[in-house]
Amino acid sequence: MNKPKRYTITSALPYTNGPIHIGHLAGVYVPADIYARYLRLTGNDVVFIGGSDEHGVPITIKAKNEGVTPQDVVDKYHTIIKQSFEEFGISFDNYSRTSAKIHHETASEFFKTLYDKGDFIEETTEQLYDEKANQFLADRFVTGTCPKCGNEEAYGDQCEKCGTSLNATDLINPKSALTGNVPTLKETKHWFLPLDKHEAFLREWILEGHKKDWKPNVYGQVKSWIDDGLRPRAVTRDLDWGIPVPVPGGEGKVLYVWFDAPIGYISSTKEWAQREGKDWEPYWKSNDTKLVHFIGKDNIVFHCIIFPAMLKAEGSYILPENVPANEFLNLEGNKLSTSKNWAVWLPEYLKEFPNQQDVLRYALTANAPETKDNDFTWKDFQARNNNELVAIFGNFINRVVVLTNKYYNGIVPAPGAFSQVDEETLAALKAYPEVISSSIERYRFREAQTELMNLARLGNKYLADEEPWKVIKVDEARTQTIMYVALQIASALATLSEPFLPFTSTKLKSILNVTSSAVETSWNEVSTKDVLLPVGHQIGEAELLFSKIEDETIQFQLDKLEASKKANEAANKAVEPQKPTITFDDFTKLDMRVGTILEAEKMPKAKKLLVLKVDTGLDVRTIVSGIAESFTPEEVVGKKVTVLVNLAPRALRGVESQGMILMTESTEGKLVFVNPDDANVPNGLHIS
């Protein structure tokens, strides 16, 4: 197979203003982890890098809103994120954070190098300024209309609708996110990375060099930006949260978060190397290292244009070999949203599905948004588990282990002569490492996982066709051969499942008793070794790898989402603005009394109207009320209600209505009474 190589694998630094959800996992961390685990298994020199992105405007806004410091915000979420990654089995070699000292130093130095080389343009320009907040507005501090697609909720650094990278001053009708004020323009000095100067290099490197090996969605986005023409981009900000600008005139300014964040990959590598007693430089500066960035599609511009331009300008770094960005994952047909709580949060999943990390990994990879946006549904999650992991993979392993224990006390039996089916099955088995490798190396993780499941299918079908539980009654020698072949497939599954289902792989290796002995099979050996599980080897007891997920479990998750949806609808219902102020005298003109509905009937040929007889304490009068879509006549008879009794009478469909019943609306949009709700309150009482 391939010669060992050195790989630096990075995964997008999660932003520390909330926990990880399935969109992050499917788009970035699960594919990156499959890739890293696979490369380690095939004997490569791999560093898999992660870390928290802790600077930038949204964190300062969140801190302000919660009345805490930005450091409090990042400490809280860094801890949550790091721990959930560990529990989920994302096998980072190092998980760092951009508030770490080593990162501040690395980013600072990087900036100074570019500054010293004259790679920046220093310019005093007019920037948006919020007079009320006394602050310059950039990035997420300002919203407005995207000049490219017309999205009215574009941010000062990017339009999330069309993906265009923006400067705050590009926005049409800008508005401060802090005060809602219309900003003014004020002069300030900043440093700009002249992307236009790097256009020729970017064009040659990506558009000519990577046309074939980069994913079409990534290549297409990059091409459209370059074809649109690149412009200088400010890499500093007037802010107090971040990495101070380390050059004269930089006081009170920090590095732009998108300048410092990707340098976080480098500082995290340094941190790892220091801990492991290694040299970090070959992982970033040696031409035989493959640098691969795993990201979501919203980060393409930063990883394919801005960061490479920075690395190229610095001069001593390698450029990414590939940036296999994914599209977005939706949830039950709707866009994932942190603010709307429309998500499956990793910490909650880990709590509610203990020891079922692999089920989520499997479902997310099976539905990975590799070439287009895709949808996660809980029904699909259940079906993937019950119909594939349980019914195929789990069923096969369970039968093999149970029967081996039953027939041979757990000892791998010696085979007799192989039948044609045996030969074909063993030959097919040997082809899998190459097939799965080929898909992984082309970043086709769904396809790779499908092939892994095909190997389990092969085993499951082999046992179902050969029926050792029947053959044992008539031909003991043949049964030994069947079980021997099945055990070889089980052993191959233990090895080849590791990148996709690491917890299952570990458990299966323990069941097969191949964890620490000479019988452990490497990825490549699945093809090359004649015997994977040798005759006479003792395996362990059967243990279920997967268990069925019941309908109630899925319904519980769907109910949670439904509750989020309802809460949002209630929160989003536009509250009407207050009416002009009235005097107390105005108020006292309203004569409101408690009354009881005595009779009710539908107004003929009017869908909305009920004709009511109401005891107001003064009299019994007729009131026509538009509540027929919310109540039947039977429901309202006997109800205590609030009545405006001195409203001028008016005729509705020929019936004179002598007053008005006060109503309001429930969160579900149903009319409800403004109700004294106490039978002891006498009719005719004033409401005041």
* Residues 131-160, mask of contacts with Zn ion (x by CB under 5 A): ---------------x-xx-x-------x-
Q: In terms of Cα–Cα distance, which of 267, 265, 246, 264 is closest to 255? A: 246
Does the annotation flag 632 for ligand binding?
no
Q: Minimum distance from CB of 223 to Zn ion (Å)?
A: 18
**What is the β-pairing status of strands 620-625 and 640-644?**
unpaired
Q: Minimum distance from CB of 172 to Zn ion (Å)?
A: 11
**Between 163 and 232, whose beta carbon lies closer to Zn ion?**
163
What's the per-residue H, E or C state across 473-533?
CCCHHHHHHHHHHHHHHHHHHHHHCCCCCHHHHHHHHHHCCCCCCCCCCCCCHHHHCCCCC
If one asks whether residue 172 binds Zn ion (CB under 5 A), the answer comes out as: no
SS3 103: helix
Compute how many other C-beta atoms are within 10 angstroms of the C-beta atom of residue 638.
Answer: 11
Task: Specify whether the CB–CB gap between 507 and 496 falls below 8 A.
Answer: no
Distance (Å, whole) CA 497 – CA 393: 10
Q: Minimum distance from CB of 166 to Zn ion (Å)?
A: 8
Distance (Å, whole) CA 327 – CA 163: 12
Task: Candidates 164-172, 237-245, 486-494, 509-517: pick the segment binding Zn ion (CB under 5 A).
Answer: 164-172
Q: Minimum distance from CB of 228 to Zn ion (Å)?
A: 13
Q: Minimum distance from CB of 170 to Zn ion (Å)?
A: 10
Q: Minimum distance from CB of 139 to Zn ion (Å)?
A: 15
Q: Minimum distance from CB of 150 to Zn ion (Å)?
A: 7
**Between 146 and 304, whose beta carbon lies closer to Zn ion?**
146
**Between 225 and 283, whose beta carbon lies closer to Zn ion?**
225
**Between 145 and 625, whose beta carbon lies closer to Zn ion?**
145
Does the annotation flag 149 for ligand binding?
yes
* Residues 314-353, mask of contacts with Zn ion (x by CB under 5 A): ----------------------------------------
DSSP designation for 199: H
**Between 328 and 407, whose beta carbon lies closer to Zn ion?**
328
If one asks whether residue 113 binds Zn ion (CB under 5 A), the answer comes out as: no
Size of the site for Zn ion (CB under 5 A): 8
Among 5, 6, 64, 161, binds Zn ion (CB under 5 A): 161
Q: Minimum distance from CB of 147 to Zn ion (Å)?
A: 8
Distance (Å, whole) CA 666 – CA 38: 55
Give the torsion through C-alpha atoms of 44, 45, 51, 57, to 10 deg: -90
Task: Specify whether the CB–CB gap between 128 and 174 falls below 8 A.
Answer: yes
Does the annotation flag 304 for ligand binding?
no
Task: Candidates 162-170, 418-426, 592-600, 642-650: pick the segment binding Zn ion (CB under 5 A).
Answer: 162-170
Q: Minimum distance from CB of 108 to Zn ion (Å)?
A: 33
Q: Minimum distance from CB of 145 to Zn ion (Å)?
A: 9
- Residue 515, sorted as left (phi over 0), alpha (psi -120 to 50) or beta, turns out to be alpha
If one asks whether residue 162 binds Zn ion (CB under 5 A), the answer comes out as: yes
Question: Which CA distances in Å does 148 have to 79, 139, 390?
Answer: 38, 17, 49
Sign of the CA dihedral with 664 first, then 666, 669, and 671 last: negative
Task: Specify whether the CB–CB gap between 168 and 157 falls below 8 A.
Answer: yes
Question: Which one-letter amino acid corresponds to residue 367?
Answer: N
**Between 149 and 182, whose beta carbon lies closer to Zn ion?**
149
**Between 164 and 479, whose beta carbon lies closer to Zn ion?**
164
**Between 161 and 203, whose beta carbon lies closer to Zn ion?**
161
What does the buried/exposed string (b/e) look like for 23-61 if buried means 16 or more CB atoms within 10 Å of the residue's CB?
Answer: bbbbbbbbbbbbbbbbbbbbebebbbbbbbbbbbbbbbb
**Between 153 and 240, whose beta carbon lies closer to Zn ion?**
153
Compute how many other C-beta atoms are within 10 angstroms of the C-beta atom of residue 580.
Answer: 4
**Between 152 and 204, whose beta carbon lies closer to Zn ion?**
152
* Residues 462-481, mask of contacts with Zn ion (x by CB under 5 A): --------------------
User: Residue 139 — φ and ψ, nearest 5°?
Assistant: 50, -125
Structure tokens of 84?
Answer: 């959930």
Q: In terms of Cα–Cα distance, which of 240, 255, 58, 251 is closest to 134? A: 240
Task: Specify whether the CB–CB gap between 493 and 433 falls below 8 A.
Answer: no
Residues near Zn ion (CB under 5 A) are: 146, 148-149, 151, 159, 161-162, 164
**Which residues contribute to the annotated binding site?**
146, 149, 159, 162, 338
**Which residues contribute to the annotated binding site for Zn(2+)?**
146, 149, 159, 162
**Which residues contribute to the annotated binding site for ATP?**
338
